[in-house]
Amino acid sequence: MSREYAQRVHASEDPMLASLGLTLVFFALCLWRITIPGSHYFDEIHYLPAARELLAGTSYRNPEHPPLGKEIIAGGIALFGDNPWGWRFFSVLAGATTMFAAMRALWHVSHRQAATLAYGVLLATGFILFVQSRIAMLDIFMAVFVMIALWLFAAACNAPTTARARGNLALAGIAIGCALASKWNTIPLAPIPGLAFLVLRWRAVGTKHLATARKAAPVRGISLIEGALWLGLVPVLVYAITFWPAYVLPHSPLAGLGPIASQEYMLSLQMSVKAFHPYQTHWSDWVLNTRGIWYAFNMYDGAQRGIILIGNPLTMWLGLVALTWCAYAAVFLRRADAAAVVILYAASILFWIVAAKPVQFYYHYFLPSCFQLAALALAIDRLRELRQRWAFWLVLAGSLAIFAYFYPILSACALEDKHAFMKWAWLKSWI
């Protein structure tokens, strides 16, 4: 798609304001009752003590994970206090920003208004983003920086001026570094913008002037050398800078280690967790949506409450069909948007198929699920174009209805008793 065409589409059809409106509704929904549970739950028991010690400057916990997510949680505690608002506010903000950035990324890749807005609805009602936006864990910070990076890279490809393209690429590089510094799940996705730049430039100019050519796709006015600076070197530098507290805090296991040795130490810790966990799962369980995690199910704030992490059964299962269609559309219809979604999904799920990490959990499917829902948005938009509008609206309405039905155990509403969860146990394996 040419830059000139992209500019015409942006001027007349860009759903920026509608996307922002959907995001604000989602932000408010996530923020409502964010103080419940009023005590730590699930992995907050690990990351809140780590954030407190970062603030106090006394130690460095959870050295197996990069520091940025813990630093952001610490920032929330510093601003709002050591309470549920302080623990979770930045998670809510990151979740809403994830949704907005994901919509912007899909818009810049597809220039399809209906698909973009449908994607926002599917993300908001897909369960996973909502649950992860309301808990002080690292995954939501990883997700927000990944989506920002994809948004800014796609925007750079459509930028009307070289200066704006350069600015978008620089910010995309910073976002990639921040994503890596939040959680290592980003590793398979971090090189994709740079590789896309390389492949598309090679297709445009060949090998003779590959390194220095500027007036060619994907980002006109930017050479491959400069692209490598923004999308390769900058992320590494940003990632390294976030480790400063880990090197200077007392009793930090990374103190005295160099940049390479510290990463090797972190990797050894990641691989050392081998004890069986009742909620550990396999990638096939995530794809089929057959096994989730109960983040909480206990007496909290005077009532029986529960929170389950699982995908919306309608959109997760339809999303597999949509991914198949996107693969077809990428190969036979030459649709770049479908190809981008399939590549991102494949990279993020293949990482867990081949990873040697002994114990894995459903929340590792967070990023792949986002790309799966993007595939579904593109697929139902295609049905709408084929005058099957009923299917487009039925999927969105169905996703919203199922989200509303499951809302009590996604948001820790008060339940009747300890057996109430059976109402939502559609599969025995969800118990």
Residue range 278-301: mean pLDDT, rounded = 89
What is the reported pLDDT for 10? Answer: 54
Which residue in this structure is represented by tokens 């699930």?
42
Mean pLDDT for all residues in the chain: 93
- For CA atoms 256, 259, 261, 262, give the dihedral sign: positive
What is the reported pLDDT for 251? Answer: 83
DSSP-assigned letters across all residues of 311-354: --HHHHHHHHHHHHHHHHHHHHS--HHHHHHHHHHHHHHHHHHH
Predicted model pTM:
0.95
Query: Of 22, 28, 266, which is closest to residue 123 (Cα–Cα)?
Result: 22
d(C-alpha 272, C-alpha 45), whole Å: 20
What is the reported pLDDT for 269? Answer: 87
What is the reported pLDDT for 187? Answer: 94
Which residues, in sequence order, are CB contacts of 210 under 8 Å at separation 6+?
201, 202, 224
Tens digit of each residue's pLDDT (9 = 90 or more) over 375-400: 999 999 999 999 999 999 999 999 99
Tens digit of each residue's pLDDT (9 = 90 or more) over 176-223: 999 999 999 999 999 999 999 999 999 999 998 899 999 999 999 999
Query: Is residue 357 predicted with pLDDT exceeding 80?
Result: no
Residue 1's pLDDT band (boundaries 50, 70, 90)?
very low
Percentage of the chain lying above the pLDDT 70 cut: 96
Tens digit of each residue's pLDDT (9 = 90 or more) over 2-40: 454 455 555 568 999 999 999 999 999 999 999 999 999
Which residues, in sequence order, are CB contacts of 217 under 8 Å at separation 6+?
157, 200, 201, 203, 204
Query: Of 185, 143, 130, 141, which is closest to residue 295 (Cα–Cα)?
Result: 130
Quick one: DSSP state of residue 299?
E
Which residues, in sequence order, are CB contacts of 431 under 8 Å at separation 6+?
421, 422, 425
Query: Is residue 60 predicted with pLDDT exceeding 50?
Result: yes
Please give the structure tokens belonging to residue 366: 């967070």
Chain centroid, CA 405 distance in Å: 24
Farthest CA pair distance, the chain: 71
Percentage of the chain lying above the pLDDT 90 cut: 76
What is the reported pLDDT for 248? Answer: 87
Query: Is residue 401 predicted with pLDDT exceeding 70?
Result: yes
- For CA atoms 164, 139, 365, 29, give the dihedral sign: negative
Pick the more confident residue, 327 or 416.
327
